[in-house]
Amino acid sequence: MVNRLHFGPDDLLRCRFALSPLWETQEAVRTLKRPDRHGYHPQWLRRIREAGHGLERELAALWLLMPQRGYTPDFLGPPPIGPAATFGQEIAAVRAADPGAARDDLARALACTPGAADSPQGRALLADPARSVRELSDALEAVWHALIEPDWPRLRTFLEADVTYHSRRLAEVGLGALLGELDSRLSWDSGTLTVARSADHVRDLAGQGLVLMPSVFGWPDVVGGHDPPWQPTLVYPARGIGGLWTEPTEHTSEALVRLLGRGRATVLAALAEPATTSALAHRLGLAPSSVSAHLGTLRDAGLLVSRRYGHQVLYERTPLGIALASGGI
């Protein structure tokens, strides 16, 4: 099953990158309920547990509208304003949502979870959509302050680095090639972007263009967001997530050396961000053939994954690799 987005000539001129603190807030909420995402955020999860947030009611309301497979209301995360949008600007747009349209969104989301629409909480959401917009906006704002705002400078810097990298690649290889590099589930052919997903969907962009947005907490999913009349948005995994939460270290851990051997431990520790074989060899002063052998072994052991960017193959850590390199195991 796939999503297909058809580009016209005007759409090619209206593609842009954006960041969204509101989107990261939503996806952080979703991540708390997704154990398969936890391996990439151990330090963040530890901070959340130690701080305690007292957001049980707010999280329950938002989780009800976030089925693992299905629709999440568009009005809760409208297309991002741009690369410099603040949470205050974005939550203001949520608060301004039309109650009638919001009710349709809520009903569609609740229908994805059997029995949700008939639950007391679901009936309350549908009975007074204006109040629901206010309360859900309040819930998102409370979650932002507790879960994301303390780490937003780090997250913003990380996401900005992704946009800078891919903007440079856009200039080097063009839009069609870039889209295929963002994730292996994306492919470009003759003006059509195909996204491998769990449901079929076709949309003509009709001159609106496409917003491209990296995400930390959406990792590793690719999400094609927003039905008409919203501007189409493609959310892709930010590159280099293995180095997001780890602090730089001066030396390779001796415990890691004893476990993996010095060569493989050195290579794993050096992958704070994605790198090619040749770049690692140059950085570490090792022969490319030795680095290549270490990378292959680490990948086969599940500590690394490889991704192709044009003619280059970049390696980055898996959750297990992150935990080992940071001393989390």
pLDDT tens-digit map of 224-235: 766 777 788 899
The number of distinct structural domains making up the chain is: 3
Q: Which of 240, 258, 291 is the last residue of a domain?
A: 240
Q: Distance (Å, rounded) from C-alpha 243 to C-alpha 36? A: 18
80, 23 in Cβ contact below 8 A? yes
Same structural domain for residues 182 and 235?
yes
At residue 306, what are phi and psi to the nearest 5 degrees? -120, 145
Same structural domain for residues 195 and 145?
no
For the chain, helix (H) and strand (E) counts, in that order, are 16, 10
Same structural domain for residues 125 and 45?
yes
Same structural domain for residues 145 and 175?
no
Residue type present at position 117: A
Residue 121 has, within 13 A of its CA and on its CB side, a CA count of 15
Q: Which of 121, 150, 179 is the last residue of a domain?
A: 150
Q: Distance (Å, rounded) from C-alpha 70 to C-alpha 92? A: 25
Longest CA–CA separation in the chain, Å: 67
At residue 233, what are phi and psi to the nearest 5 degrees? -135, 135
Residue type present at position 177: A
Give residue for tokens 């959509």. Answer: 129
Same structural domain for residues 31 and 111?
yes
Closest of 218, 264, 265 to residue 244, by C-alpha? 218
Residue 205 lies in domain: 2-17+154-240
pLDDT band, very low/low/confident/very high, at 92 (cuts 50, 70, 90): very high
Closest of 117, 165, 129, 148 to residue 312, by C-alpha? 165
For residues 314-322, average pLDDT? 82
For residues 159-185, average pLDDT? 87
Q: Which of 150, 166, 195 is the last residue of a domain?
A: 150
Note the pLDDT of residue 153: 86
For residue 186, what are the β-bridge partners?
Answer: 195
pLDDT digits (tens, 9 = 90+) for 36-47: 888 888 889 988
pLDDT digits (tens, 9 = 90+) for 187-231: 888 889 988 875 677 888 888 889 999 999 998 888 876 677 778
Same structural domain for residues 83 and 203?
no
